[in-house]
């Protein structure tokens, strides 16, 4: 008879890993299924001449919900990930000088919400970076990790998912399934009965945003400013503004180097259009050069990457405990279905799903509490 896992988690990004690490306190009978070669999703480590850093810019606004999300993460890792909260207004470059960024006025970009996240003047300073969170979470995971395994279909019997197909051929059975991949893909992955034609088409047609990122290593120190930069320039074109920030300059082999990380958004449909991607990158560089005329001279390293569908309206109706209404054992953990989105949304979604599975995650490993009424079925 086929092995039945207690939990099958699809996707090993921050969301999937948080759940996988937290559940490992309860059972080792977990399958963590990942399409890529390695875990971590978008929060992976990048080795730069200035040292290891996040895969693109990372910013956590200071808010009650951010603190809640990071407390949850800290509880899983048994360490606090927040060093402090600090305040620094975002800046922009206008009429030959830097000014406090006051908003987009009458001309908000179509991805206003995505960018507005970065314009909060209050931020949380971290003791550990998101690429370190995912590494540590993976260390805490104790089940079976299955890389290069793309879930291509969910199969249901009655109101329960019984198994998934992996890479079009392999079958994996579990009592509970947690989907932490891209919500849009559910239009293809879910069985016909589980999603109405209308919901399926809505899910496919929603607007999703792709992040277009530029990580630069400058061959000299450019600025001491650690403020978030929102650069737009004077021309209003179809390519919108970008957000970016400089990391502290450091000396490497006798030379001062400074890294900076920039990001803008393009619609998911044009992700493959090299002309749009090229234009957007050019615009980012033009804005940096306008503000810091020598910053791009003799760049030590330039890293361009595209992160498809990092946000967007994953408009999917879920039951109160975050399962697909027609499938009582399929929880949807993707950050894009949480009101908060981003890192905070990913963690809050994971926390709510843990609660819905019947677990409250406390800092001390021994005090993880299983609630009396658990909706999850376990074979322990
Ligand atoms: C460049 C960049 C900059 C960002 N900056 C910030 C920031 O400053 N502040 C902030 O709060 N947030 C930021 N974010 C967003 C934040 O990082 C993400 O919202 C969050 O990490 C999402 O985590 P996730 O686990 O939901 O998704 P992901 O990290 O995308 O992980 C999903 C995983 O699921 C796997 N998967 C998907 N489908 C399947 C399948 N069918 N079968 C098997 N595996 C599958 C994928 O391979 C992937 O590994 C940024 C994101 C990017 C890309």
Return the best residue to mutate from 58, 178, 281, 313 for the ligand 1 pocket (most ligand atoms within 8 A of CB). 58
Distance 184 CA to ligand 1 centre (A): 13
Provide mean pLDDT across the span 44-68. 96
Question: 370 pLDDT exceeds 60?
Answer: no
Phi, psi of 336 (to 5 degrees): -70, -15
Question: 345 pLDDT exceeds 50?
Answer: yes
Say what percent of the chain tops pLDDT 70. 93
Question: CB of 128 within 8 A of CB of 73?
Answer: no
Give the pLDDT score at 42: 95
Q: List own/partner pairs for 278-281 with CB under 8 A and 24 or more apart.
A: 279/239, 280/212, 280/239, 281/212, 281/214
pLDDT band at 1 (very low <50, low <70, confident <90, very high): confident
pLDDT in tens, 120-151: 999 999 999 999 999 999 999 999 999 999 99
Pairwise CA distance, residues 171 & 157, whole Å = 15
List all residues whose CB is within 6 A of at least one atom of ligand 1: 10-16, 33-36, 41-43, 56-60, 150-151, 180-182, 185, 211, 213, 263, 307, 310, 334-335, 342-344, 346
Question: CB of 151 within 8 A of CB of 330?
Answer: no
H/E segment holding residue 311: strand 301-312
Question: 163 pLDDT exceeds 70?
Answer: yes
Give the pLDDT score at 101: 94
Neighbour count for residue 154 (Cβ, 10 Å): 22
Neighbour count for residue 168 (Cβ, 10 Å): 8
Give the pLDDT score at 380: 40
Distance 244 CA to ligand 1 centre (A): 19
Give the pLDDT score at 107: 81
Question: 162 pLDDT exceeds 90?
Answer: yes
Phi, psi of 246 (to 5 degrees): -95, 140
Please provide the distance, in angstroms rounded to a whole number, between the alpha carbons at the two ends of the chain: 17
Instruction: Indicate which atom in ligand 1 lies nearest the CA of residue 152.
Output: 41
Positions of E strands within 101-180: 122-126, 144-146, 151-157, 160-166, 170-179
Distance 14 CA to ligand 1 centre (A): 7
Distance 15 CA to ligand 1 centre (A): 8
pLDDT in tens, 290-341: 999 999 999 999 999 998 877 666 678 888 889 998 899 999 998 888 888 8
Q: Is the pTM of this model over 0.85?
A: yes
Give the pLDDT score at 365: 54
Question: CB of 99 within 8 A of CB of 160?
Answer: no
Q: Which residue has the higher pLDDT, 112 or 220?
A: 220
Give the pLDDT score at 235: 59
Could you tell me the domains of the chain? 1-81+128-206+313-380 (3.50.50.60), 83-126+207-312 (3.90.660)
Distance 49 CA to ligand 1 centre (A): 24
Phi, psi of 167 (to 5 degrees): 50, 35
Question: CB of 214 within 8 A of CB of 302?
Answer: yes
Give the pLDDT score at 276: 87
Give the pLDDT score at 369: 44
Which residue, by CA, sits nearest to atom 27 of ligand 1? 13
From residue 297, give the alpha-carbon distance in Å to each of 260, 267, 285, 294, 301.
14, 30, 11, 5, 11
Instruction: Indicate which atom in ligand 1 lies nearest the CA of residue 343.
Output: 11
Strand, coil or helix: 62: coil
Question: CB of 174 within 8 A of CB of 6?
Answer: yes
pLDDT in tens, 180-237: 998 889 999 999 888 888 888 888 877 788 899 999 999 999 999 999 999 986 556 6
pLDDT band at 371 (very low <50, low <70, confident <90, very high): very low
């Amino acid at each position: 008879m086929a092995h039945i896992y207690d939990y099958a988690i699809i996707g090993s990004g921050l969301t999937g890993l948080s759940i996988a690490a937290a559940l490992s306190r309860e059972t080792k009978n977990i399958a963590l299924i990942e399409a890529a070669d390695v875990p971590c999703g978008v929060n992976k480590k990048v080795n730069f001449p200035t040292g290891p850093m996040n895969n693109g810019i990372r910013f956590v606004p200071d808010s009650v919900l951010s603190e809640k999300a990071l407390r949850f993460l800290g509880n899983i890792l048994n360490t606090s990930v927040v060093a402090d909260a600090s305040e620094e207004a975002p800046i922009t470059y206008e009429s030959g000088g830097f000014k406090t960024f006051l908003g987009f006025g009458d001309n908000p970009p179509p991805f206003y919400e995505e960018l507005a996240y970065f314009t909060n003047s209050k931020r949380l300073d971290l003791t550990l970076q998101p690429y370190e969170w995912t590494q540590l979470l993976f260390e805490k995971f104790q089940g079976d990790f299955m890389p290069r395994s793309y879930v291509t279909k969910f199969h249901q019997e009655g109101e329960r998912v019984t198994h998934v197909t992996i890479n079009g051929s392999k079958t994996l059975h579990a009592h509970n399934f947690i989907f932490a991949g891209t919500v849009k893909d559910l239009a293809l992955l879910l069985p016909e009965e589980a999603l109405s034609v209308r919901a399926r088409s809505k899910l496919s047609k929603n607007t999703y945003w792709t992040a277009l990122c530029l990580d630069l290593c400058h061959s000299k120190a450019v600025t001491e400013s650690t403020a978030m930069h929102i650069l737009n320039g004077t021309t209003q074109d179809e390519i919108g503004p970008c957000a970016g920030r400089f990391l502290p300059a450091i000396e490497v082999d006798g030379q001062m180097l400074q890294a900076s990380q920039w990001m803008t958004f393009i619609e998911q449909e044009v992700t493959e259009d090299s002309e749009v991607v090229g234009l957007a990158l050019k615009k980012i560089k033009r804005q940096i050069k306008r503000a810091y005329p020598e910053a791009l001279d003799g760049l030590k390293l330039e890293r361009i990457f595209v992160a498809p569908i990092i946000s967007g309206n994953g408009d999917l109706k879920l039951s109160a405990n975050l399962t697909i209404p027609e499938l009582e054992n399929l929880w949807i953990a993707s950050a894009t279905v949480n009101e908060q989105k981003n890192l905070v949304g990913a963690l809050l979604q994971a926390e709510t799903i843990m609660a819905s599975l019947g677990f409250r995650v406390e800092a001390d490993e021994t005090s993880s509490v299983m609630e009396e009424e658990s909706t999850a079925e376990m074979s322990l």
